[in-house]
Structure 1
């Protein structure tokens, strides 16, 4: 008979390419050693008791004391880990639970030796779909739900099956089409990013979901200022770039001796440009007309 208690672990596996992960690189670039330390601390706390960690309002202060780290920085790093999907943000918002699909895959590998003899029943917050769940992990169908949203797990399973079916039908014919889509909380940044994706699509570029995710991470990593992020995306659209580059700071008036500063700077009508992009087709006449007008 399967036992119904969450099994903890004495150790967990750390992959040798841990620091090669793009998300970990960005974490280190933004928060230094403190960011890496906090992430590993949380993984230890999770695997110590099983595959998830439920936190309360005092958690940030406890971590701050344990790591000798400012509580505000603990909160910033935790938000980053949630935004970049190193932890499942939906489950955290509904139940204050830290876990992820990747954490649960590694958990399965860690408990395999003992669970093959006596299967483990998981009762709550299990994210892996049926096809990814090992046979020695028994998911209790009536208990594996969010406490604040009982239908959450079932809806995720249904959506996963639908997405898998669509993926099998499309296979190699998959081409990303934008819009619709929401990639940033800032509506202005999200709108201009959708315009960037549309411009890439009209040039014949085929973007996968993974590529789009990397593009959003690149925007976030290059600047923390909302206006600069929007300016970066606009600049990439106007120059036909496939990526993004930091915006150069403009010099104050009167400090530059460059005689070309006296020339009138062109103002671009992004609303008109967006309308043209939405109407044009890849390689169409209107596309070439748009390029001439923008040139």
Structure 2
């Protein structure tokens, strides 16, 4: 019977000069032994399952119970660890994932021997660049860009694919020519709100949203209305307005009484002028 595949580590290396690291010294100075214990506790949890850990809203309370610390102190220490890059703050804010480039460097060294026979698959939470990643770590983010083909036909296909992905990548300029200027401006504003609500958007998702919008309507005015409604509602996708004849007047009367909801998601109110101003500033920076 085959041995079950093991993703995590039984033990992990701790540098001999761990306590000499400036970040660790500051952690100890601010939070005492509790800060050090919490950091090592999190490292153990992460390495036990691999190179990252997803957390939820009960995470701080579970740690509080395990380590007999107050939830407030757990939150303070975690905030410090994120602010000093002991964990990657961007990934934590977007996906509630705890990891770091340093954790991943140590992880790939620790699994080197066993991974030579059974390569490890890594996904979107892998932070190391391709040049820093060992050959036995197969990261989906690198696929299609570094593969070497045995003939010129294969190379042409890869080049074509790479060019296609580049062309689909979202342009931060609010005057992207994919849509007419006014519609593109509204679309970029929608992307900004969607990213705030649901996290980072990859280029393929942006392209899919463009295609969805075009499939809903061929009329530019209606497309603009769809985008603005999705932005104001903080929606994840576009939806075509459905108005049945004979009910329009009644629907208008009910506007102030009922708020539309999608999948039990509470709509958010946005200052559109403020969002447009931030988007313009982002494009100019």
TM-score, normalised to structure 2, is 0.49
Query: Larger relative CO (CA 8 A, sep 6+): 1 or 2?
Result: 1
